[in-house]
Structure formats: structure tokens, C-alpha cells
Amino acid sequence: MYPEDDLVMISALQHYLFCPRQCALIHVEQQWTENIYTAEGRIAHERVHSTGKESRRRIKTEFDLPLRSLQLGLVGRGDIVEFHLREDGSWQ
């Protein structure tokens, strides 16, 4: 189990996997400059960043879902998270 102060942001993992230097600039040095590509990405993500839910048959979809795991040491938000109805009636 990780203490709250040691949790890593999920977005930091994504930035690190793309480019460790980018991760350091954003999450350590707190430097960020928006450009045409990041602006396009921000606009494309407006739908998923509006908190909400959808249900269709055996699938529930939640947008901008807060996530936290003390076991994994992660915290952040899931853009789109799907829950599937299992045969026993529970959601996974």
C-alpha cells in the first residue's frame, strides 16, 4: 500500500512512456506550452472530459471517472471507462 503523498498521476505515466523528458518538464519542472498539436488534442478530448454516464444494453460507460489505487500507487482520471454486465448480474 502506498501513502497518499506517494501516489503517481496516471497522466505522468502516459507522458513518461511517450517521452521521459516531457514527463519531467510537465510534472517536475511544471513547464507547459500549448501548441497546435496539444490544442487539437484538448479540443478532441472535450467530450470525454464532460462528466457523465451512458448505458447501452450490457455496457455502462462513464466519462472523466476519478480513479485511485493505494495498492498500485496511482491516482488520476479515466477518460472513458466501460463496465460490462456479467452473467451473475455484477458489473466488471
Q: State the pLDDT at residue 52.
A: 76
> Does residue 1 contact residue 12 with C-beta atoms inside 8 Å?
no
Q: Where are the domains of the chain?
A: 4-84
Q: How far apart are CA 73 and CA 58, in angstroms?
A: 30
pTM to 2 decimal places: 0.72
Helices (H), 1-92: 10-18, 20-23, 36-44
Give the pLDDT of the chain (92 residues) as one tens digit per residue.
999 999 999 999 999 999 999 899 998 999 988 899 888 888 877 767 766 788 888 999 998 899 999 999 999 999 889 999 999 999 99
Return the pLDDT at 51. Answer: 63
